[in-house]
Amino acid sequence: MKFVSIFTRGLVLFASIALGAQAFAQSDPLPSWNDGPAKQAIITFVKQTTDPKGPNFVPPEARIATFDQDGTLWTEHPIYSQVMYSLDRVPALVKAKPELANVEPFKTVMTGNREAIAKLPMGDLVKILAATLTGMSVEEFQSQAQKWITTATDPRFHRLYTDLTYQPMQELMKYLRANGYKTFIVTGGGQDFVRAYAERVYGIPPDQVVGTAGATSFGYDKDGKPVLTKVPKLLLDDDHAGKPEGIHLMIGQRPHAAFGNSVGDQQMLEYTKAGDGARLAMLVLHDDAKREYAYGPAQGLPDTKVGTFTQALYDEAKNQGWVVISMKDDWKHIFSWEQ
Amino acid sequence: MKFVSIFTRGLVLFASIALGAQAFAQSDPLPSWNDGPAKQAIITFVKQTTDPKGPNFVPPEARIATFDQDGTLWTEHPIYSQVMYSLDRVPALVKAKPELANVEPFKTVMTGNREAIAKLPMGDLVKILAATLTGMSVEEFQSQAQKWITTATDPRFHRLYTDLTYQPMQELMKYLRANGYKTFIVTGGGQDFVRAYAERVYGIPPDQVVGTAGATSFGYDKDGKPVLTKVPKLLLDDDHAGKPEGIHLMIGQRPHAAFGNSVGDQQMLEYTKAGDGARLAMLVLHDDAKREYAYGPAQGLPDTKVGTFTQALYDEAKNQGWVVISMKDDWKHIFSWEQ
């Protein structure tokens, strides 16, 4: 009897702890974030802007949050995923147009010599992007991109690129949506490329993806069926000043919260913070070489051309009340598969 | 006792009729539509695409419906509302820049001579549009447009332009949204102009308004505050082939339903119908001079330059299984204030 009683009490105690932990987990919308100023800034912002009696209340139709993608929602090193995509497409392109095999920069890409490929000048990279991202129907492109994104893996973790999304940012987007925010991606990357997986991976539908966008041309195929073909004409260069301009073009409202990680996000954050009331601007600082990558050159981190975070941007953030997220200190987990 | 009984029975009978009528009203999502092929086509389409067991089921994330505005959602005769807006802005423009008072076409507009204004060539109209729709911040423009749209009235009904939205189309948009469709405006009119009232008038948020769009330029005002200025550079000519192109740019998915009323909507409807499964394409025919306007020149209606509906478009609609809505026959009420 005594034993049973202790056993029962033990069970009850265990159940209480388990339920308590569950209740706590449910009440914490950001479990992958360590307690600290970054997590606190998010929670304070959401509480302030959703409290109908508070001075900073934002009506649901104005709750807009914008997220850069590369380096903010997923890993961008050693090189942007979309560049890997375009390089991977070159063999299929050369097969379809054999005359390209002896033409640079396609010739170099076909050698598979990584060092030589890495040294290609920007002009050559643009040629590769234009050749692999245009010339097909929008459906053909979507099908090609979807096939790649569900099979290609990154060179360090040997995982699907979509496995390299940041768990804390996924939680943040869900938390904002649960509080009536409409979440948009605002990326320097290709709009159509990101649309190929954004709904599945981030829960963000195609019309809420703003990115660097090329034109399409409406016409009819040989059977008279209407077709939209991707053409090499730039409509929106969605980086730096192009981000707030793209936000106006595609969203039409100033965001109340914006998230980025590099100099390309500076103007988006400035534009966001220039609005009235409570506005949240955050920058992810890659300072965790062990779990992901470390680059700046802000705060003495190694310099980089991919996702540059200058000291000037860091200082502006500190002076303007933006919040810098330290991947090392603020994120308990970076990737979902770490746990 | 007998009297009470009859009275009670009468009450019960009355209550039954009243409740029955109410139940009927609730079950009819399109009360301003007369029974007929147009109404039936809408209801069949919604039932087919939302039946999870049917062959034409469309998952909620793919339920996209696009609506032209001028002549499809509201009255476009005698001239597009936005043209009236721009003409009405000319005095304020000349006050700010007095040197324009003696320059054509502003000089003619300032005379107030309607006949002379109506005769201005297209090039002059474009000058007036550029001068009145650019040069200010996006917030200043929105404020100017909102002020006008809540005060200006049309020349025939002497009502606010927003009172001239079509009640049957308002019901249709609500019905589609109640069935999981995301509704977008895809207009040849100015995107920023329509955004100034679309949420209030149609329940359509700014990011779901696709229209002819000019560029903005990001910069800083004299106090160093970030500002987006509207500049006279065309990014998207959202008419004819520009409609499916604009749909791809801003929405990123082919619509399952599209609604228009003129040759400018032809390509949008072709693109919509070219998709798999059940697709709904409808054209509003203005054949009711008494309650609104009558113009074509399809079906022998008077010709017009504003919202042209050619016989060729009418024939294509009939051949391709699009549905032509007769305002006269299909709409019980056109405007909410008729009732």
- What is the CA A89 to chain-centroid distance, rounded? 22
pLDDT of B26 = 59
Confidence tier at B321 by pLDDT (50, 70, 90)? very high
Confidence tier at B322 by pLDDT (50, 70, 90)? very high
| Average pLDDT rounded to a whole number, residues B60-79 | 98
Q: Please, are residues A235 and A258 in contact by the beta-carbon 8 Å criterion?
A: no
> How many angstroms away from the CA of A4 is the closest CA of chain B?
52
B105 has a pLDDT exceeding 70: yes
pLDDT tens sequence across A149-201: 999 999 999 999 999 999 999 999 999 999 999 999 999 999 999 999 999 99
Q: A248, A253, A319, A322: best mutation site toward chain B, by most B Cβ within 10 Å?
A: A248
A16 has a pLDDT exceeding 70: no
pLDDT of B20 = 47
B3 has a pLDDT exceeding 60: no
B271/A contact by beta carbon, under 8 A: yes
A279/B contact by beta carbon, under 8 A: no
> Higher model confidence: residue B17 or residue B75?
B75
Q: Please, are residues B223 and A162 in contact by the beta-carbon 8 Å criterion?
A: no
> How many angstroms away from the CA of A124 is the closest CA of chain B?
26
Nearest CB to B249: which of A213, A242, A253?
A213
Chain A residues inside the 8 Å CB shell of B207: 182, 184, 207-208, 250-253
A4 has a pLDDT exceeding 60: no
A63/B contact by beta carbon, under 8 A: no
- What's the predicted TM-score (pTM) here? 0.92
B191/A contact by beta carbon, under 8 A: yes
pLDDT of A122 = 85
A window 16-45, beta carbon within 8 A of B = none
Cβ contact, residue pair A208, B209, below 8 Å: no
* Top mean-pLDDT range of A96-105, B1-10, B280-289: B280-289
pLDDT of A6 = 47
Chain A residues inside the 8 Å CB shell of B228: 244-245, 248, 271
> How many angstroms away from the CA of B52 is the closest CA of chain A?
20
pLDDT of B339 = 63
- What is the CA B39 to chain-centroid distance, rounded? 19
A72 has a pLDDT exceeding 50: yes
B window 93-132, beta carbon within 8 A of A = none
B266 has a pLDDT exceeding 50: yes
For the packed helices A138-149 and A81-96, what is the interaxial angle rounded to 10 degrees?
120
Cβ contact, residue pair B61, A209, below 8 Å: no
B38 has a pLDDT exceeding 80: yes
Cβ contact, residue pair A270, B205, below 8 Å: no
Chain B residues inside the 8 Å CB shell of A215: 245, 249
A244/B contact by beta carbon, under 8 A: yes
B147 exposed, middle or buried (CB, 10 Å; 0-12, 13-18, 19+)? exposed
pLDDT tens sequence across B183-222: 999 999 999 999 999 999 999 999 999 999 999 999 999 9
Cβ contact, residue pair A218, B226, below 8 Å: no
A271/B contact by beta carbon, under 8 A: yes
Q: Over chain A, what is the mean pLDDT?
A: 93
> How many angstroms away from the CA of A115 is the closest CA of chain B?
36
Concatenated DSSP letters of A71-139: TTTB---SS-HHHHHHHHHHHHHHHH-GGGGGSTTHHHHHHT-HHHHHT--HHHHHHHHHHHHSSSBHH
pLDDT tens sequence across B166-189: 999 999 999 999 999 999 999 999
β partners of residue A277 = none
B138 has a pLDDT exceeding 90: yes
Q: A183, A185, A204, A207: best mutation site toward chain B, by most B Cβ within 10 Å?
A: A207
Q: Please, are residues B84 and B152 in contact by the beta-carbon 8 Å criterion?
A: yes
Cβ contact, residue pair A251, B209, below 8 Å: no
B140/A contact by beta carbon, under 8 A: no
pLDDT tens sequence across A73-110: 999 999 999 999 999 999 999 999 999 999 999 999 99
B333 has a pLDDT exceeding 70: yes
Concatenated DSSP letters of A168-194: HHHHHHHHHHHTTPEEEEEEEEEHHHH
Residues found in chain B: 339
Where do runs of H (alpha helix) occur along B150-259?
A: 167-178, 191-195, 198-202, 242-250
Q: What percent of chain B is modeled with pLDDT above 70?
A: 92
pLDDT of A163 = 98
B233/A contact by beta carbon, under 8 A: no
Nearest CB to A252: which of B195, B241, B245?
B195
Cβ contact, residue pair A225, B192, below 8 Å: no
| Average pLDDT rounded to a whole number, residues B247-254 | 98
Q: A218, A267, A268: best mutation site toward chain B, by most B Cβ within 10 Å?
A: A218
Nearest CB to B267: which of A61, A218, A236?
A218
pLDDT of B47 = 98
Tokens of B9: 């029975």
For the packed helices B122-133 and B81-96, what is the interaxial angle rounded to 10 degrees?
70
Return d(Cα B163, Cα B157) in angstroms, integer: 9
Confidence tier at B142 by pLDDT (50, 70, 90)? very high
> How many angstroms away from the CA of B246 is the closest CA of chain A?
9
Return d(Cα B34, Cα B332) in angstroms, integer: 5
Size of interface A-B (CB pairs under 8 A): 98
Return d(Cα B280, Cα B322) in angstroms, integer: 7
> Higher model confidence: residue B243 or residue A24?
B243
Cβ contact, residue pair A207, B206, below 8 Å: no
pLDDT of A1 = 42
**H-run or E-run covering A259:** strand A257-260
Radius of gyration of chain A (CA): 23
Q: Over chain B, what is the mean pLDDT?
A: 93
> How many angstroms away from the CA of A34 is the closest CA of chain B?
33
pLDDT of B312 = 98
Return d(Cα A79, Cα A84) in angstroms, integer: 7
B246 has a pLDDT exceeding 60: yes
B297 has a pLDDT exceeding 80: yes
Chain A residues inside the 8 Å CB shell of B249: 191, 213, 215-216, 235
Chain A residues inside the 8 Å CB shell of B62: none
B105 exposed, middle or buried (CB, 10 Å; 0-12, 13-18, 19+)? buried
pLDDT tens sequence across B18-37: 444 444 445 899 999 999 99
What ipTM score was computed for the predicted complex, to two decimals? 0.92
DSSP state of B169: H
Cβ contact, residue pair A218, B241, below 8 Å: yes
pLDDT of B91 = 95
Q: What percent of chain B is modeled with pLDDT above 90?
A: 88
Cβ contact, residue pair B207, A206, below 8 Å: no
